[in-house]
Amino acid sequence: MRPLIGITSSMEIEGTSFTVSSDNVNAIKKAGGLPVILPNLVGDEVNLYAEKMDGLYLTGGYDIDPLYFAEEPHPNLGTVTPDRDVFELRLINKMLELGKPILGVCRGCQILNVAVGGKMFQDIDAQIDQELLQHAQKAPTAHTSHYVNVLRDSLLYRLTEMEQLRVNSRHHQANRSVIDIFQVSGRANDGVIEAIESKQHPFVLGLQWHPENLAIENDQPSLKIFQGFIEATRNQKGGIQNENH
Q: Active-site positions?
A: 106, 210, 212
Rounded Cα distance, 86 and 176, in Å: 21
Residue type, 149: N
Which among 84, 83, 27, 82 is positioned nearest to 55, based on CA atoms?
27
d(CA 167, CA 86): 29
Beta bridge partners of 136: 170
* Distance in angstroms (rounded) separating the CA atoms of residues 160 and 163: 8
Is residue 236 within 8 Å of residue 101, measured between CB atoms?
yes
Burial degree of 38 (CB within 10 A; 0-12, 13-18, 19+):
buried
Closest alpha carbon to 172 in 104, 82, 105, 76: 76
Q: Going by C-beta distance under 8 Å and a sequence separation of 6 or more, which residues neighbour residue 184?
A: 151, 175, 178, 193, 195, 196
